[in-house]
Amino acid sequence: MKQSLDYKLIFALAAVGIIWGTTFLGIRVAVETIPPWFVTSIRQGLAGLIMMTILLFKKELEWIGWENFKQQLIASVLMLVIANGFTTIAEQNIPSGLASVINALTPILIFLGSILFGLQKMSLKGFLGVIIGFSGVVFIFKDGLGSFLDVNYRTGMMFMGFAILAWAAGTIYTKTHANKSKNITLNLFYQFTIASCIQLVLASIFSPNPDFNSWSSKSIFAALYLSVFGSVIAFFCYNYALKHVTAVQVSILSYINTIIAVFLGWLLLDEVITVDFIIATALIILGVFIVNYKKKEKKAL
């Protein structure tokens, strides 16, 4: 008996793949004229307001208790303040395509962290995937470390390194400690609000006298796009997809994100794509695929 296509699921998966692929471009455009901590604070703040509006409409806005609040605070600091914030800072100094390729290593770091904390066992397949994935990073720098003499490039890569480590740590923490609350919207409201407040303080420290007149309409639109689409819509679609397919299947979308980000950087921002860069991207994506790949049991027809 044929199963009818779940068009909502197809839409959700497509939305996550495409939207999160465009966020690297959005960040790059936003930081052209807006200081990075202001970009992230606007992004998370508006997303938090949208979540609050939904919760008020559904009459579900409430205090979550100190234990759950502590868990949301840690997840927010790791994944939104550090990972998202540092990625935004990095894109002031490196191309959006390169940022997305480095970000594609996150599943490998999550795999290694899961082994370290006993959540997963090391396997030959996993080891092979890690080696291939990191060989892609080596390929990016195969012509030597000359690029690191450029202080801006060095700063950008350093912030991307911290960003992917924080995202991996946040994901592992969420898997092992997070409260299994049914109301994801409520938890997300707290995460977005906490992050926005912290990032606003950081913005006032690192950009104490912002020249709002210099903020271009293009950058402001990019920041709003990141909030509405990158944070709110993509998140809801991601969670809808997780209810219908496995996390491993959804993780395949990270390959689509990277390809879209690299393509858009080349198409709209004139970012250079070399043969070496394409090979490096392919190696990283292959490594992540090998780490995540699980054979599907054949069903009787």
140-156 pLDDT per residue, tens: 666 555 566 678 888 99
pLDDT of 80 strictly over 60: yes
243 or 131, which is more confident? 131
Residue position matching structure tokens 């995202």:
167
Q: What is the mean pLDDT of the chain?
A: 84
203 or 251, which is more confident? 203
Tokens of 124: 């030959």
- Please state which of the ranges 59-63, 168-172, 241-245 shows the lowest mean pLDDT: 241-245
pLDDT of 1 strictly over 50: no
Share above pLDDT 90 across residues of the chain, in percent, rounded to a whole number = 39
Query: Do residues 176 and 117 touch, judged by C-beta distance below 8 A?
Result: yes
Q: How many CB atoms lie within 10 A of CB 203?
A: 21
pLDDT of 120 strictly over 80: no
pLDDT of 74 strictly over 60: yes
4 three-class SS: coil
Give me the DSSP letters along 1-40. Answer: -PPPP-HHHHHHHHHHHHHHHHHHHHHHHHTTTS-HHHHH
Residue position matching structure tokens 């990191």:
134
Query: Do residues 29 and 220 touch, judged by C-beta distance below 8 A?
Result: no
Q: How many CB atoms lie within 10 A of CB 46?
A: 19
Phi, then psi, of 38 in degrees rounded to 5: -70, -40
- Please state which of the ranges 74-78, 196-200, 230-234 shows the lowest mean pLDDT: 230-234
Per-residue pLDDT tens digits for 171-187: 888 777 755 666 778 98
What interhelical angle do 253-269 and 275-292 show, nearest 10? 160
Query: Do residues 231 and 192 touch, judged by C-beta distance below 8 A?
Result: yes
Q: What is the mean pLDDT of residues 115-131?
A: 81
pLDDT of 299 strictly over 50: no
Tokens of 232: 């709110």
Tokens of 179: 């409260």
Q: Using a cut of 0.95, tell me whether the model's pTM lies above it.
A: no
Cα 216 from chain centroid? 25
Give me the DSSP letters along 56-114. Answer: HHTT------HHHHHHHHHHHIIIIIIIIHHHHHHTTTS-HHHHHHHHTTHHHHHHHHH
Local confidence band at 273 (pLDDT 50, 70, 90 cut-offs): confident
